[in-house]
Amino acid sequence: MVEVKASLKEQYNHLFAAVPPAAIREIDVKLSSVPDIIKLTIGEPDLPAPTAVKEAVKAAIDHDDSHYAPSQGTLALRQAVAKYLQERYDAPAYDPESEISITVGASEAIHDAFSSLFNQGETILIPTPAFSLYQAEALRLGLKVVEVNTAPTYKFTAAMFKQALQDHPEIKGMILNFPGNPTGVTYEPAELEKLAAAIGESDVLVLSDEIYAELSYENKHRSLTSYLPAQTILITGLSKSHALTGYRLGFVAGPAALMKQIGLAHSGVVTTAPSPMMAGALAAVTTAKDAPFAMRDIYQKRRDLVMDGLKKAGFTAPTPNGAFYVFAKIPDFFTADDHAFVYELGEKAHVGTIPGSVFGAGGEGHIRISYAASTEDLTEAMSRIQAYSQRAQDLKQKNLA
């Protein structure tokens, strides 16, 4: 243990102090101390990595692929990613040499885009409820954030966009995430087209986080870049589609002029992504490019299991058409304070969830349930929630009587 010099205790970036702590991980850690708890907290696939990906990384290691790769990623990978994004995302034909970078997860892509495309003091719009990293990173970088509450549909509409721009003409950029975390909501093609048209009338630059694209249940995912290529940066990666969270592989694509700046941020921050992992990514978007379909089918069955289980327990939630989260309204017979409810549910029913208010305006009174967990765990968790719900209702009935 090393004590810092007393006079240096305040020597840090004071923008960092304005950022709320990373609530999801903090809550996850607290709930972990409850014995026998089933945690449906973290958005992390429980499935193993595709075999072809694993073999490709191991082969790269055997072949001493331990040297620096080109900063923006190996050309072979960028070419394959360009093709994959066209096929699977309906993305435009990005130039692999100047319009695609490989990052250390989508997180790094988000950081690089925020830090390189916006100036300190500029304003970005975040539709909420949203993944809390967006706001945290934006604030740490000195950006201003305008939240737009999308409840109860959780769809950000053209009308909402126009209203926000009228209220805040200083908005320079926005982040859109679909299928969305924490709600699982995604867009119909007509909705997305309308939204793209409204954004296209403005000069607002969009970061489109489509990391859950491959986990779209009803329709094939269609990227915002297919409607609005000239003012959209596409952010995605393999963490969710291929169950590769720990491999840290992200992709970012957009017009060359903007990608040049993102590439500078990327090479400054990490130099390049790990070479053997990029060999794995190449396998993921070529030989293992269909692996997400099987995973999606598994998640869809789990979604149905959870939706059914929650309904029986008295919860309501919009049916997720993508990702692996249910964003459920806490029934009236429980406390409406979602933080209190999450700890109550954790301690008394031994099921871990995330309070909705950590995702911003529109999240209060809700919980997020991740169904990236085994069917067995999900079945047991639903029984526990139902039993706990029944007890609460009985108690309320008794008190009223």
Q: Which of 291, 126, 288 is nearest to 209 (CA)?
A: 126
Which of 368, 332, 363, 365 minimizes the C-alpha distance to 351? Answer: 368
Question: Which C-beta is closer to a second copy: that of 185 or that of 234?
Answer: 234
Q: Give whole-number Cα distances, 126 to 90, 155, 204, 225, 328, in Å.
A: 24, 12, 12, 18, 21
What region does 260 belong to: left with phi over 0, alpha with psi -120 to 50, or beta?
Answer: alpha
Q: How many helices (H) and strands (E) does the chain have?
A: 12, 12
For residue 171, the minimal CB distance to a second copy (Å) is 12
Interface residue with a second copy, options 140, 144, 194, 312 (CB under 8 A): 140
Cβ proximity to a second copy: between 5 and 398 the closer is: 5
| Residue 3 binds a second copy, judged by CB under 8 A | yes
Q: Name the minimum Å distance from CB 178 to a second copy.
A: 20
Nearer to a second copy by C-beta: 176 or 313?
Answer: 176
Transcribe 25-73 into DSSP letters: HHHHHHHTTSTT-EE--S----SPPPHHHHHHHHHHHHTT--SPPPTT-
316 binds a second copy per the rule CB under 8 A? no
Pairing outcome for strands 366-370 and 354-355: antiparallel
* Sole window of 41-49, 291-299, 313-321, 392-400 interacting with a second copy (rule: CB under 8 A): 41-49
Q: Shortest distance, CB of residue 32 to a second copy, whole angstroms?
A: 12
Report H helices in 93-131. Answer: 105-117
Instruction: Identify each DSSP E strand in 229-301 by its residue range.
Output: 232-237, 250-253
Q: Which is nearer to a second copy, 242 or 366 (CB)?
A: 242
Nearest CA to 323 out of 131, 98, 84, 82 is that of: 131
Q: Which of 32, 66, 335, 375 binds a second copy (CB under 8 A)?
A: 66
Shortest Cβ 9–a second copy spacing (Å): 6
Least spacing, CB of residue 257 vs a second copy, in Å: 4
Question: Which residue, 105 or 184, has its beta carbon nearer to a second copy?
Answer: 105
18 makes contact with a second copy (CB under 8 A): no
Residues 301 and 30: their CA atoms lie apart, in Å, by: 29
Instruction: Pick from 18, 32, 48, 218 the residue near a second copy by CB under 8 A.
Output: 48
Q: For residues 79-138, which are near a second copy according to CB under 8 A? A: 92-95, 98-99, 104-105, 107-108, 111, 115-120, 133, 136-137
**Beta carbons of 328 and 246 less than 8 angstroms apart:** no
Which span sits near a second copy by CB under 8 A: 190-198, 246-254, 289-297, 375-383? 246-254
Residues numbered 166 to 225 that lie near a second copy (CB under 8 A) are: 172-173, 203, 205, 225
Of 175-183, 214-222, 240-248, 360-368, the window that binds a second copy (rule: CB under 8 A) is: 240-248
Across the beta sheet with 250-253, the strand order is 100-103, 250-253, 232-237, 205-209, 171-177, 123-128, 144-149
Stretch that binds a second copy, among 65-73, 301-309, 373-381, 393-401 (CB under 8 A): 65-73
285 near a second copy (CB under 8 A):
no
Instruction: Tell me the one-letter amino acid at 308.
Output: D
Q: Using the rule CB under 8 A, is 68 a contact of a second copy?
A: yes
The answer to whether the Cα torsion of 116, 120, 122, 123 is positive or negative is positive
